[in-house]
A and B are shown apart, each in its own frame.
Chain A
């Protein structure tokens, strides 16, 4: 089974195909996310040194909005929590958090907390538990969680808990593995996992494993490689990962590789993209696939990076 095409995936990420088609056009505004997925994957494959940190950081700082402290998805784009988190994560990868005006950035993030404990993604007010995760993860990396009313933020997340033990994007929203990762991750980071019924949620999560060994995100949906992350990291955070069949999942992920050109797709024989490449490799890392760096399930960064953040160099 030992056939992760590591070199091919590195090549795929580094030499991004210059395709002149609609698919590539639509990624322009979320280049910050794309960079985080690509760079973190490289680091997991021990190849982060293939990239020049100075070039990355200088591009990133052009995405920074000095007036408010947030990062946009690309140069000339408005600030948003999603891209601010990715930016902070990338800087953590390169150990360059020192380039930030940490007070300014953390004030931007903290300012997006609403009265009811939810977070908005930006000044336009869309709320979603994804943003709770982005804010809490970001503030934690910056050591500024004390800028928000953590209890209020936690109680909002808990209000999104459903009877099946899962979490949705808003109170009453259908349990969905992506949202569950965000809520469980935020609760883990704030030391609030006692709000999770680990046995109940663990069972819901392990029921995501389909006959083909892959994981889906909700009952009766198809397996998708990205759930190898959302479901798996959640299971690890609640200490129930042994409830899925890891061998079958590993095989599923490996079957989603493009063994010729590198990259991983959502399911076997589909087109690859950086998003699924990252989640496939990260999922394998969570299962301790040989040759990969360990990844932290809550911060979605290599463990050595997280250790550096919290325990110094």
Chain B
């Protein structure tokens, strides 16, 4: 995380570097009573004092660039250093491929740092469409360490939309979901690809195969929130379609019959009923069998029974399920 002690031993203070002898460092002006004072390490203090000097002088030189490298190494969150670095890079007309290599080196240790991601995007924008492959590779390497890194996913989506590279994206989502079927970010990306990729047929064309894929995922881990949401998403708010596709009610029934982890199955079924779904006798029987207590006189129909069940099996959200019970569409009651 911070520089190792051997780096500290090797580091020559700026005050002893001949190439910096002409510069007078500018100390931090905290004012007389700093309100959130922070104790500094001497080398950090010195580096920032020299940075301030070149920043105020607006010196856009090679040594200034190297100085920003050191400052970033100590505090990659310092956005002013990054700004100035960009100005220097532009002024020196530096080959941005080199800059990309620099970011590669520091990004792994700082994968949630907004400044680094933004800087990466700036570099990629300047390099143009030829950068797409390397950018996808880069986000892949970050996601290999943390497959839910929000910055990496935002960056990846931006690359696809502005630079392209859609061809292998669905495969990539498949692979990530193989690694961790609970990865909500990968499910979200899958949806992004299905709906936006110019090389697939669009949601309608992909729906059947996606439903099969999702049903399999649900059956493997019915307590997994993501595929249930993904399944709903495949019908894109078309409740008639959701209700009429047997695969949807079938997966609910299958999960309910296992008598395990059926909370999401119940809630999807509740929604189906609210949209006018007509339950089979088999479904009604299975629900009845899940009831552990005597039927409440108010549980006049399947939907209210399901609400009562949910209040019991998901007590944390009992207020929500009680509200659902009191707000069922008239036709369902």
Contact = CB atoms under 8 A, between A and B. Distances in A.
Interface of A: 16, 18-22, 24-31, 34-35, 38, 51-52, 55-56, 58-59, 62, 72-73, 75-78, 80, 122, 124-126, 162-164, 168-170, 172-176, 202-203, 206-207, 209, 211, 213, 218-221, 242-245, 248, 274
B80 A170 contact: no
Interface string B22-61: 0000001111111111111100100010001001000000
B290 to A, nearest CB: 21
A29 B78 contact: yes
B317 interface: yes
B225 A220 contact: yes
10 contacts: A21-B2, A24-B38, A27-B36, A29-B79, A124-B83, A207-B225, A218-B148, A220-B224, A243-B320, A248-B316
B1 interface: yes
B15 interface: no
B153 interface: yes
Given A62-B31, A243-B317, A244-B316, A77 B79 contact: yes
Chain A contact surface mostly: loop
B121 A242 contact: no
Contacts of A25: 38, 40-41, 44, 74-75
Contacts of A75: 28-31
Interface of B: 1-2, 28-41, 44, 48, 52, 55, 74-80, 83, 86, 114, 118, 121-122, 148, 150, 153-154, 157-158, 161, 182-185, 188-189, 191-192, 195-196, 224-226, 229, 232-233, 236-237, 315-317, 319-320, 323
Nearest to A211: B316
A126 B226 CA distance: 29
Given A76-B55, A77-B80, A164-B229, A173 B33 contact: no
Contacts of A170: 154, 157-158
A207 B48 CA distance: 45
A220 B74 CA distance: 33
B317 A206 contact: yes
Given A77-B79, A77-B80, A207 B226 contact: no
Contacts of B44: 25
Contacts of A126: 114, 118, 121
Contacts of A206: 317, 320
Contact of B39 (A24, A58, A221): A24
B184 A26 contact: no
Nearest to B32: A55
Nearest to A209: B316
A163 B194 CA distance: 14
Nearest to B321: A243
B153 A26 contact: no
A31 B79 CA distance: 12
B185 A174 contact: yes
B154 A163 contact: no
A76 B52 contact: yes
Given A20-B39, A170-B158, A26 B77 contact: yes
Minimum-distance CB pairs A-B, first 10: A22-B2, A174-B188, A18-B39, A219-B225, A243-B320, A219-B184, A126-B118, A77-B80, A220-B182, A29-B78
Contacts of B316: 209, 211, 213, 244-245, 248
A41 B240 CA distance: 49
Nearest to A38: B36
Nearest to B161: A172
A124 B1 CA distance: 27
Nearest to A28: B38
A124 B184 contact: no
B229 A219 contact: yes
A209 B38 contact: no
A286 to B, nearest CB: 16
Nearest to A54: B33
A27 B37 CA distance: 10
Contacts of B52: 76
B116 to A, nearest CB: 11
